[in-house]
Structure 1
């Protein structure tokens, strides 16, 4: 993996980091953390779900358009980018100053997705494209259940290959997410 740092070190780095990448399993709290930190730090929060991947009606944006949009975003001077997509880390990591990798137990992510579904059932959540109402199906739940086994090895390989010098703070619980928020507030 890339350079691992502590929560306190991450809070310190947030003082100067202009491009922060928040990754992790669906339901792990990426969007919540990215929105709060972005607001606190004055960094524009960019949701990959909304800005890169999805068109209304749960239609996937064409891959060429996804990559063009992503290249435009990462070329910007400042961002708080929320989204995992291991297949695009090669584009994002070379521009990233800090990675926050949310890795809670899978039941935490499952709870996050299910509670989000109840909260936004029948409508689009704020970080999602309009016209993409919140939904859950067996395939999505299986993706979350198997995330560590299927996605994390690719994430680790991409971090080592495309971001070997990018500091990575792994947050393993909602409490650690809150701890980083609290510490980043103290640092400012």
Structure 2
């Protein structure tokens, strides 16, 4: 694992999983939410956001977490490992509630990511597996056919994947 793209629904645990994985691999993590949004929730221009990602993926080692389906092919084409956290909506909503409680609705400790829970976001999370996950799977099939793909369906499976890395001699 040298270039890892992590994606999944809001609340699926991308940031936590990515942080833990990056620490195990000794790689700096990039949280796309922290790149795309500023501290007032202003967004980056689409062309600029794509250009930043094009630059990020030119390095030899990276872990990038975030969805952003419009720019997902940029990351997938260069990734050697893809981790899709495809968790149930209730699990993701619970994850969002826990995150809001833990960070009191403010900035996450060291990610630059802020909580912004709106009704439209809750609806997006609720419908993610039905509406967005098929699109993500199709993008993975089209652009990451060369990569080692992990589709993770539970927090327990995510923990097993990380534990398997700890046991692997290739991660030392």
TM-score, structure 2 normalization: 0.92
- What is residue 132 of structure 2 aligned with on the other side? 151
- What is residue 124 of structure 1 aligned with on the other side? 107
- What is residue 76 of structure 1 aligned with on the other side? 59
The one of 135, 159, 164 equivalent to 1:178 is: 159
> How many pairs does the alignment contain?
168
- What is residue 39 of structure 1 aligned with on the other side? 23
- What is residue 163 of structure 1 aligned with on the other side? 144
Between the aligned partners of 1:147 and 1:30, the Cα distance in structure 2 is 15
Q: Which runs of 4 or more aligned residues in structure 1 lie more than 4 Å from their structure 2 counterparts after TM superposition?
A: none
Counterpart secondary structure, 2:71: helix
Check the 8 A contact 2:4/2:63 in 1, yes or no. Answer: yes
- Two-structure CA RMSD over aligned residues (Å): 1.3
Q: Deviations over 1:42-93 (max 9, x none)?
A: 1111111112x11120111111211111111011111011111111122111
- What is residue 8 of structure 2 aligned with on the other side? 24
Runs of 5+ consecutive residues of structure 2 not aligned to the other structure: none
TM-score, structure 1 normalization: 0.85
Decide whether aligned partners of structure 1 residues 124 and 68 sit closer, same or farther in structure 2, where only a CA change above 3 A counts.
same
Q: Does 1:49 pair with 2:30?
A: no
Runs of 5+ consecutive residues of structure 1 not aligned to the other structure: 1-16
Between the aligned partners of 2:21 and 2:148, the Cα distance in structure 1 is 17
Counterpart secondary structure, 2:63: strand
Deviation at 1:122, TM superposition (A): 4.0
Deviation at 1:136, TM superposition (A): 1.3
Deviation at 1:127, TM superposition (A): 2.1
Counterpart secondary structure, 1:60: coil
Between the aligned partners of 1:42 and 1:105, the Cα distance in structure 2 is 30
Counterpart secondary structure, 2:145: coil
Counterpart secondary structure, 1:22: strand
Check the 8 A contact 1:121/1:135 in 2, yes or no. Answer: no
Counterpart secondary structure, 1:99: strand
